[in-house]
Chains A and B, each alone.
Chain A
Amino acid sequence: MTWLDIVRVLGSLTCVLTIVGAWFIARRRFARLHEQPAVSLGITTLPATAFWKLSALLVLAVLPAATIAVANYHTFVGIHEVQACSQCHVMRPMANDLHDPTSDTLASRHFKNGYIPTGQCYACHSDYGFSGDLAAKLEGYRHLARYTSRTYTEPLSARTRFDNHQCLKCHQGKTAFERVHMHQDVRARLESSNMSCLNCHGRAHPTRADRTPGSARYSDLIKLPTFAEADHE
């Protein structure tokens, strides 16, 4: 059982308890509670007024807080998986290309060589969207609002400049990286993201032209991806 399964069970429990509790709270007439008999809880007996007010606190404040915490954990941890990213069809071209053994994009090469065993999207894009810092999370909410309200156009393009530290955090300091003289020559420009790693290492994902509806590759790129992440685990 994974953490996500535990979160699902906990989330379900809080939701069901809230719904059942809310049904009783909605039917309660609080002004007349003093006329009702005390409620026995086994270890103690409470006046009906106290019992139902405490129940209201549980159902309207405590359980919803737990539900919000659990569901948001589900949001911010669940999005680490490629499967979560490709739930939005506009991300499917990236996911399908990632799993395409014939593709030569940077993302696909990382995947087929097993450089990043799990959570491949998150590994390189952990600085923006729901996975990034607070400002990035707010941007993630904007993405979600645009997607669910269908106020976007394909192909998508990133508003932000890719931060090379997403590459350097793994490559910098490694022998294979340091022994390349070109890396030494442009180190400052790479570290400041003034020069893109893609200038020499090719495209990271399919081109905008390929991701445009109606293009020759679009129907292949947009199909529901199959997930082979476990292959590298």
Chain B
Amino acid sequence: MNELKWEAMAVSVASLISLVYVWQPGPYPMGAFTFIAQPLFLVSLASYAWKTVKDMRARNVL
């Protein structure tokens, strides 16, 4: 499997935004969670899934 550095950084940033939102649920934290954190989570998940599939194909698992 390739390195997962940027995916890990993306989920860290998204989690930090989510943490702020959970404790300070104002409109701007809510906007940041909705329009930045959630897409970051999804993009990093998609990239992770893609790398996992590539890794499994390389190992003839898939």
Contact = CB atoms under 8 A, between A and B. Distances in A.
Given A11-B18, A144-B30, A148-B28, A19 B41 contact: no
A30 to B, nearest CB: 4
Query: From DSSP, what is the main secondary structure of chain B's interface residues?
Result: helix
Contacts of A145: 31, 35
B9 interface: yes
Give the interface residue-count category, chain B: 20 to 34
Interface stretch (A39-47, A56-64, A104-112, A208-216): A56-64
Interface in B12-60: 12, 14-16, 18-19, 21-23, 25-28, 30-31, 33-35, 37-38, 41, 44-45, 48-49
A84 B18 contact: no
Contact of B19 (A11, A31, A64): A11
B16 A19 contact: yes
Given A18-B15, A71-B18, A145-B31, A60 B7 contact: yes
Interface in A137-153: 141, 144-145, 147-148
B15 A19 contact: yes
Given A11-B22, A30-B1, A59 B8 contact: yes
A126 B57 CA distance: 49
B26 A87 contact: yes
A75 B5 CA distance: 30
Interface string A66-104: 011011001100100000100110000000000000000
Contacts of A53: 1
Given A11-B18, A11-B19, A64-B44, A18 B25 contact: no
A22 B15 CA distance: 10
Given A16-B19, A148-B31, A87 B25 contact: yes
Interface residues of A, number: 39
Contacts of B1: 30-31, 53, 56
A19 B12 CA distance: 5
A88 B18 contact: no
Contacts of B44: 60, 64
Contact of A78 (B16, B25, B49): B25
9 nearest CB pairs, A to B: A148-B31, A26-B8, A11-B22, A22-B8, A15-B19, A15-B15, A18-B15, A64-B41, A25-B8
Given A11-B18, A68-B38, A144-B35, 11 more contacts: A15-B22, A22-B15, A23-B8, A26-B4, A28-B4, A30-B1, A64-B41, A71-B37, A87-B26, A87-B27, A141-B34
10 contacts: A12-B22, A19-B16, A25-B8, A26-B5, A26-B12, A53-B1, A56-B4, A60-B11, A67-B18, A144-B34
